[in-house]
Structure 1
Amino acid sequence: MTLPKKVSLPKMLKIEMNPVRVLAMGFALVILLGGLLLMLPISSQAGTVTPFIDSLFISTSAVCVTGLVTVDTGTHWTYFGKTVIISLIQIGGLGFMTFATLTAVFMGKKLGLKERLLMQEAYNAMNLQGIIKMVRYVVGFTFGVELAGALILMTQFIPMVGWAEGIYYGIFHSISAFCNAGFDLMGNFASLTGVNTNKIILTTIMTLIAVSGLGFSVWMEIWNFKSITRLSLHAKLVLSTTLFLIFGGALLFFIFEYSNSATMGSMSFLDKVTNSMFASITPRTAGFNAISIPDMSMASRLLTIILMFIGGSPGSTAGGIKTTAISILFLTVLCVLKGRHDPEAFGRRIDKDSVFKAFAVVVIGLGIVFGVTLVMSFFESAQGTSMEALIFEATSAFATVGLSEGITPDVQFTSKAALIAGMYFGRVGPITVLLALSRQKTPAQIAYPEGKILIG
């Protein structure tokens, strides 16, 4: 009797599970699991099954820490559903690999090179040295800051809604803010517009957003700070760009909305300053809003789109193309104008690989925003939705922000699917997703002669 030969998969069907593919697939599986849980009748106030597309949309928005919603978080979901959402936000903010690593460490398992490479990819770390120590630091820092934020928010929410709900509100909004998610429990899609004169709530929320948006590696350097000259080029670039965007954006919002009676016109001077700072910080990339987005001036909405697209910093819970990418492109432009060979910052030369990667991130990001907008414009044309609102929505999805001009609940199935894809690409990272989908290339064996191309 002849035994059958071992059947092997064709070479083209074999998939090498490298770190970027594991990360991309891991996020997708968590999103699917969250969508199935949110479909259950126990998750909705009405006790009925929530449509799969809406459940999947909310799960994607939570895991990708975006904040765009098709159903109101405060009124549609039960406490079970809300707890599923905040759990997905925490997993998405820290990254599922963090929880897998912690589980392995607590069980006494030794992490090998493969697991360490995955953590390096997940945190955008420059090397493997001290990666497990960094994971412990990230988790401790995250829970510590979230706890502090929750306690402060409880002092404001408990007098509003009572002890039980006030404690839950404090925890939920602290996690949502630190993870840059933008989900809220205020109800009726109002976000924080009903408490926009409460300086403690707004200050706490925007502090949590700003802290997490810097990136964990930067905070490790700040924690071990000895002198500004000892900070890495990455930390200096992140801090300087972030400060410029926050205070520059706040100044412009203050000017644009100062006399707008529909937003900040009737507020006191101090409330205008607070809300201007909040409007500058939250697009990068949390999704809370304290003033009505549709009622903002056109200049403010355009500024919000720009800030959303830029986003936070690498290795953080924020999305967007990141502060380092936009600053590198700006420095490259200065380099060309000055006739120098390499962009420079803080007495250091920026390597060509970083410039190429920054350029790729920006181009891919624009491509995703354009693609999502194109799909939505085709399917939403009959609804009379403005192009500006579609671009706003698409940018918010890609940059995992969650701010909206209010059209998300009413868009069609295909538009929701396009926004889901935009959120996924934005959270996992456009380069990570493309690398996960592509086959590994071998280095070119031929160096072609240089050619000249006219530019400009």
Structure 2
Amino acid sequence: MKLSSLYLKLTPPQILASGFAMIILVGTILLKLPISNKTGHPFPFIDALFTATSAMCVTGLSVVDIKTQFSTFGQIIILILVQLGGIGFMTMATWFAIMWRKRISLRDRLVLKESMNHSNIEGIVRLLVRVILFSITIEGTAAVVFAWRWSFEMPLGQAIYFGIFHAVSIFNNAGFDLFGGYQSLNHEVDDIIFNIISMILIILGGIGFIVMSDLIEYRKTRKLSLHSKVVLSASGVLILLGAVVIFVFEYTNSLTLGPLGGGGKTLASFFQSVSLRSAGTSTLDIASLREGTQFFMVVLMFIGAAPGSTGGGIKITTFTILIGAIIAMIRGKDDVILFRHRLPKDNIYKAITITLMALALVVVSTMILSTTQDHQFLMILFETTSAFGTVGLSMGLTPDLTLSGKILIILLMFIGRIGALTLAYALQPKSKKELYRHPEGKIIIG
């Protein structure tokens, strides 16, 4: 069967899931090549698969030290996977089609709509062009700033390379770094320039390209869509709440915020809070945080970033709809109202479905890992949620994972990136229209 005919038979969710899987497989093969590794030893297939999945799903969890394990070629492969996973392989493929003046079919537009979590196909190609331009501009600007900053500490060529790698990794919320030692970017904890630029990158990558497009158009339209209002307001509240909780809980912790001054404490608190949106980059030792802080981080990682962004989780809009539904129920209202707009029932049902599926996935995975891994429960729960939310923060469990643990985390990262509901749509047989409806019944709730 030709690829073109197979492409026509697949549904958009199936194309999205299979496309991600195929690119991960290609990345795995490339990372296993001798040219990709520094050690000279054969790189285990499961570790190559784990790294490729983590890169393509923009997670950042790694069973090996990226700096010491991979050569420059291997690191570039990881960076390409991060870029493809962040903006979407269909986005990149369509961009090349546009460059070659190829016609974008209706099916291509439907797949793009699915991959970018857009509500309809109207204007999807125009949005795609903006996605590419946004990415190039933002990553390029950040790379220049990072290269200038690190040129005082390392040779200029290395500084430029580091600047490009970390700009792409941080903007796409991937969490990979080249400093080694599984320390992430702890040495930059009080660097104002690095922290501010990184937080801007994470926030822009986490709010999504739809919101960024809305913000660019605001000067002309003088209005924002309901989606953008919800994402921006909810993101702001969660970032502020996270920073306050981390600041209060870790203020006297001698292993985290304790040694820092007032400004350093505030900067570090905001950075970790922003990173929890799905970035996976940290300037504090996550394992040294107090258990209360770690558990609070689990909650924020589970919520994740915005739809159509480079992040994972149940998505911040899903969380906001659930909160709106709870408030409406408590007040005895029939409708969920956000910014003077009534939400359709389908949105509420979808939000509940996504949350329950994600919760079940995290709970079951945590139970399995608790049986197969000899580590503390909170460490396992943290790792599981980080993988599902494609966050990439770790308390140190990842390098110690057994074979079964690696396989489970790989599945979690994959499901977390494409979405549990999208995967369910991809796996289900073709639905048939029901010819009848069952009689309505009532059960007692509460």
Q: Which residue of 2 aligns with 1:139?
A: 132
Q: Tell me whether 1:391 sits opposite 2:402 in the alignment.
A: no
Please say if residues 172 and 202 of structure 2, whose CA atoms lie closer than 8 Å, have aligned partners that are also in contact: yes
Q: Which residue of 2 aligns with 1:400?
A: 390
**What CA distance in whole angstroms lies between the structure 1 residues aligned with 2:397 and 2:365?**
14
Cα offsets for 1:113-142 (capped at 9, x unmatched):
111111111111122122111111000001
Q: Which residue of 2 aligns with 1:237?
A: 230
Letter in 2 for 1:123: M
How far apart are 1:226 and its partner, in Å?
A: 4.6
**What CA distance in whole angstroms lies between the structure 2 residues aligned with 1:227 and 1:373?**
48
**What CA distance in whole angstroms lies between the structure 2 residues aligned with 1:89 and 1:182?**
10
**What CA distance in whole angstroms lies between the structure 2 residues aligned with 1:156 and 1:425?**
37
Quick one: which of 43, 50, 54 aligns to 1:50? Answer: 43
Quick one: which of 366, 379, 404 aligns to 2:372? Answer: 379
**What CA distance in whole angstroms lies between the structure 1 residues aligned with 2:151 and 2:428?**
51
Q: Name the SS for the 1:224 alignment partner.
A: helix
Instruction: Could you tell me which runs of 5 or more consecutive residues in structure 2 were left unpaired when the two chains were aligned.
Output: none
Q: Which residue of 2 aligns with 1:182?
A: 175
Q: Which residue of 1 aligns with 2:70?
A: 77
**What CA distance in whole angstroms lies between the structure 2 residues aligned with 1:345 and 1:379?**
44
Cα offsets for 1:144-167 (capped at 9, x unmatched):
000111111112212222111111
How far apart are 1:371 and its partner, in Å?
A: 2.5
Please say if residues 40 and 48 of structure 1, whose CA atoms lie closer than 8 Å, have aligned partners that are also in contact: no
Q: Which residue of 2 aligns with 1:39?
A: 32
**What CA distance in whole angstroms lies between the structure 2 residues aligned with 1:420 and 1:314?**
21
Q: Which residue of 2 aligns with 1:4?
A: none
**What CA distance in whole angstroms lies between the structure 1 residues aligned with 2:64 and 2:103?**
43
Larger Rg: 1
Q: Tell me whether 1:67 sits opposite 2:60 in the alignment.
A: yes
Q: Which residue of 2 aligns with 1:117?
A: 110
Q: % of aligned pairs identical?
A: 39
Letter in 2 for 1:414: S
Going from structure 1 to structure 2, the CA distance change for 1:253 and 1:227 (only over 3 Å counts) comes to farther
Q: Tell me whether 1:414 sits opposite 2:404 in the alignment.
A: yes
Please say if residues 56 and 82 of structure 2, whose CA atoms lie closer than 8 Å, have aligned partners that are also in contact: yes
Letter in 2 for 1:262: L
Quick one: which of 263, 268, 293 aligns to 1:270? Answer: 263
**What CA distance in whole angstroms lies between the structure 2 residues aligned with 1:439 and 1:15?**
16
**What CA distance in whole angstroms lies between the structure 1 residues aligned with 2:290 and 2:148?**
34
Going from structure 1 to structure 2, the CA distance change for 1:163 and 1:390 (only over 3 Å counts) comes to same
How far apart are 1:368 and its partner, in Å?
A: 1.6
Q: Which residue of 1 aligns with 2:444?
A: 454
CA RMSD of aligned residues (A): 1.6
Cα offsets for 1:261-302 (capped at 9, x unmatched):
100101011111100000101011011111111110111101
Structure 1 moving runs of 4+ over 4 Å: 226-229
**What CA distance in whole angstroms lies between the structure 2 residues aligned with 1:402 and 1:353?**
31
Q: TM-score, normalised by structure 1?
A: 0.95
**What CA distance in whole angstroms lies between the structure 2 residues aligned with 1:260 and 1:142?**
38
Quick one: which of 156, 160, 163 aligns to 2:156? Answer: 163
Q: Tell me whether 1:430 sits opposite 2:423 in the alignment.
A: no
**What CA distance in whole angstroms lies between the structure 1 residues aligned with 2:68 and 2:268?**
26
1:249-260 to 2 correspondences below 5 Å: 249-260=242-253
Q: Which residue of 1 aligns with 2:97?
A: 104
| Equivalent pairs, count | 442
Please say if residues 329 and 358 of structure 1, whose CA atoms lie closer than 8 Å, have aligned partners that are also in contact: yes
Q: Name the SS for the 1:184 alignment partner.
A: coil
Q: Which residue of 2 aligns with 1:370?
A: 363
Please say if residues 61 and 69 of structure 1, whose CA atoms lie closer than 8 Å, have aligned partners that are also in contact: yes
Letter in 1 for 2:125: I
Quick one: which of 14, 20, 26 aligns to 2:13? Answer: 20
Q: Which residue of 1 aligns with 2:429?
A: 439
How far apart are 1:210 and its partner, in Å?
A: 0.5
Please say if residues 62 and 89 of structure 1, whose CA atoms lie closer than 8 Å, have aligned partners that are also in contact: yes
Q: Tell me whether 1:261 sits opposite 2:254 in the alignment.
A: yes
Quick one: which of 204, 214, 237 aligns to 2:207? Answer: 214
Cα offsets for 1:242-265 (capped at 9, x unmatched):
000011111111101111110010
Q: Name the SS for the 2:152 alignment partner.
A: helix
Q: Name the SS for the 1:294 alignment partner.
A: helix
How far apart are 1:16 and its partner, in Å?
A: 3.8
